[in-house]
Structure formats: structure tokens, C-alpha cells
Chain A
Amino acid sequence: MESSGRFIHLEPPDEALCARVAERDVDAFEILYDRYRDRVYAWAAHALGPRQAEDTTQEVFALLWRRAGQFNPSRGQFTQWFWALTRNHILRDLRGISRQRRTQIADQIAALISTAIGEGVDVEEAAFTKVDSQRALDTLGRLPPDQRRVLVMSYFVGLSHSAIAEELSLPLGTVKKRARLGMQKLRQALIADEASEEPIQHKEVRPDERR
């Protein structure tokens, strides 16, 4: 990959950064924090309230620091592991909150995402984040709202399909069907996105800048 005395260097993947965090590399930890802070914070703020969001974000990243050595790339992607870690933590904090309140929270999140899907992203951030965010909204926008709502209720606040069925006064089979169809469409959309995705942006760095 050498070119005119320079190396072409990809942005370090999450998995490599996590391995460095396991070796107690603070720089790698900071990169992962910058990549995922907004998502963790937004989730915590909507699920637990803005006051709790800072503490929860701190705790999630402290967990990442402590448990980075437990991540095994042969068992899946970093994001799968990290979001499981984050979700477990947030759902644990949500344990004392009633099902009705959790349904309200999920409905607010679903409404927010629906609005954003309609209006598009307006975030003054780095270009790659904007692309990621817009892509995520586009992908979710391809799902019918009732299927999206079930996914949001299930994922962000941890409601079971039975609980969702009760809250929405729907038969359990209908909820399961919506969840399954929603996931199928989401996967199809993601596969289609991946196929049409532009090549990954490369960043050129001199050899002495490499870690």
C-alpha cells in the first residue's frame, strides 16, 4: 500500500481501537468516545432524562474501558458488543420505571425519528457523521411507522413483545409479525445501502504519524 513514500492509512476500525483500549491506550479510547458519545448520550437523555444522561454516558464509557478486553472480534462486530453493553446498562437503569412510562418514552423517540425522517438531518457536525445519520434515517424511513414503532419500543426501552401487545392493545401475533417484517425490511435496506455505498474515505498519513 505504499505510494510515493507515503502509506495509505484507513481510519482505524472500531475493533482495532477496542483492542488498543484493552491495552490501556487512552488515545484509542478517546477516538471511540468521539465516535459514539452522541448516540449513547441521546439514548440516555431520552430514556432516562437529560440529568441522568451525563452519568449514564460516563458509566457506559467506563464500562467500555474496563471490559474492552472481553470483546472478541471472532464473535461479532464491535458495535454489536458495544450496543449490547450500552443497552444492558440503560435498561438496567430503566428497571424501576413503569411500563406505561416506558411506552411514552418509546413513543416520543419514535415520533422524533419520524419527524427527522420527514425533515432530514440538520446537524452541524463532521461530514461523515452527517452521512451516517442521514443514512440511518433513510433506512428507517423505508419502514412503515407501525413496524418502526415496534422496533423502537423493543430496542430502546426493552419492552417485550407481550408488553408491546398489551400497551398497543394488539394481538401478540400482530406485534411479532410487525417486528419480524420491520427487521426484514431493515436488513434489506441495509444490504441495499451497503451495495450502493461509496468507497470508504481514506486518510493519508505519513509513516511517522502511524501508531
Chain B
Amino acid sequence: MNDDETLDRPEEVPEAADTLTAALAAASRHRPPPELRQRVVGRVIRRQRLASVWRYAAVAVIVACVTGIVTWNVAAAQLTALRHTNPDVAQLEATNEVVFDVIACKGGHVAVLRASQQGSVSYGKLYTCPASEDVVFMSGKLSSAPSGKSYELWLSGGGVTRLQGALQVWPSLTGSEYYFGSITFKADHKDPSYEGAQLTLQPAGDAAPDNTVLRWNAP
């Protein structure tokens, strides 16, 4: 101990602190109430229990995270394998990306196709994007296509109506009896525009639209 530095500071001399506090306690009439002991000890016991709970919680979270990561990695690995063995999966993913790009496109247009027949709840939407050649058509609440017929999208422009393609159709995922269909394709140029659109239910190979289910005409 360096006398020059510490001899005038009792807090830095341990024996001094011990002596001063013992002297004060001896001189004082103040004594801690007996129940204080229970409160102080009870507090640390509660803290210890809480720490244990947190420790268990932390372990549980870590286990859950590890399980989640492992599950995610397994799922990702399975998806990668599926992409290699089934080209449709990769195609579907690519299509989803195109759909998202077009419908979320800034300044995009949407034409709403309405049912031609009274009582039908079917509808469709044709999306175009100023910055892209990609076009998306989606249609919901479609009835089941009879055997030998399919839903076809016909587009009109420059006085000509031509077949754009047949929709891919799936049973509704909402549990209803309806079907959902979509088609994506590339136009000749960016920001394509059309004079009209029809969704038909007809046999493949027809030269003209027939049995129109949904229709839209440019204003």
C-alpha cells in the first residue's frame, strides 16, 4: 500500500472501512428487523428461480431455432432436389416471379373480364406492365371444364382477334367447388395494349372464339 496516495482516504484502506462500519454498528441502536432477512433471502431465491426459468426458456428457444433451421434446410434441400427432378416446379417458381413482377408493376394496367352469362360468378383480370413484355391473365370461380374442352384466352388488337393460349386450371384451394386458372405470356413489345379480351370454353384447335365465358372491351 502506498502511504502517500491512500493514507488520507479511508475508503481505500480495507481495515479502516471494516473498523469504521463495525464501530458505527456497535454504537448505533438501529438494527435490521428480523423479517428483513426473509425478504432479502427470498428476493435472491426468487431471482435464482427466475434465472432458471429464463435459462430453460433460452434453451427452448435455441432448440426451436435449431429445429427450425434444420427443418428449413431440409425443406430447401428437398425443394432443390424437386427442381432438378421435376422441371414443372422450377417453371412454377419462375411463373410466380413473373406474376408478381407484372401485378406489382408501377403504372401497370388491369382489365377486368366479366361474365357474359347471367348468374355466373366467374371473373378474370388481364395485367400489363409499361416496363415489361410480360402479360398475366388470371381467372377465378370458374366451373369445371367438361371433357374435351378447355378455357382459352383470345385477345383482340388492330381489328384482329387471335388465340393467346389455354389456361392452366386448378381446383380452388379455398375448398369451394370452383376452379382457378392462369396464363402468362410475352407480348411483342413492352406496355402492350388490347382492344378486347375473351375467355372461352371450347375444344382446342378452333379457329375462332366460341362459347365466351368472360369478356372485356376497351372503352
Spell out A's residues near B (CB within 8 Å). Answer: 24, 26, 29-30, 33-34, 37-43, 45-46, 50, 53-54, 57-58, 61-62, 65-66, 76-77, 79-80, 83-84, 86-87, 109, 112-113, 115-117, 121, 123, 132-137, 139-140, 151-152, 154-156, 161, 176, 179-180, 183-184, 186-187, 190
Contacts and interface: CB of A to CB of B under 8 A. Distances in A.
A114 to B, nearest CB: 9
A43 B23 CA distance: 10
Contact of B7 (A33, A154, A184): A184
B47 interface: yes
Contact of A26 (B3, B27, B45): B45
B20 interface: yes
A83 to B, nearest CB: 4
Nearest to A120: B26
Contact of A65 (B13, B27, B36, B44): B44
B17 A83 contact: yes
Contacts, number: 163
Interface residues of B, number: 38
A137 B24 CA distance: 9
13 contacts: A26-B44, A37-B32, A43-B25, A45-B30, A57-B40, A58-B43, A62-B47, A113-B27, A116-B26, A134-B26, A154-B10, A155-B17, A190-B15
Nearest to B4: A180
B39 interface: yes
B33 interface: yes
Contacts of A133: 22-23, 25-26
A41 B30 contact: yes
A132 B11 contact: no
Interface of B: 3, 6-11, 13-28, 30-33, 36-37, 39-41, 43-45, 47-48, 51
B33 A54 contact: yes
Given A33-B41, A37-B32, A46-B24, 4 more contacts: A42-B30, A87-B11, A140-B23, A152-B20
Contacts of B7: 179-180, 183-184, 187
B15 A187 contact: yes
B26 A76 contact: no
A113 to B, nearest CB: 5
B9 A43 contact: no
Contacts of A65: 44, 47
Contacts of B40: 33, 37, 57-58, 61-62
Contacts of A61: 40, 44
Contacts of B13: 183, 186-187
Contacts of A136: 18-20, 22-23, 26
Contacts of B24: 39, 42-43, 46, 109, 112-113, 156
A96 B30 CA distance: 23
A139 B7 CA distance: 16
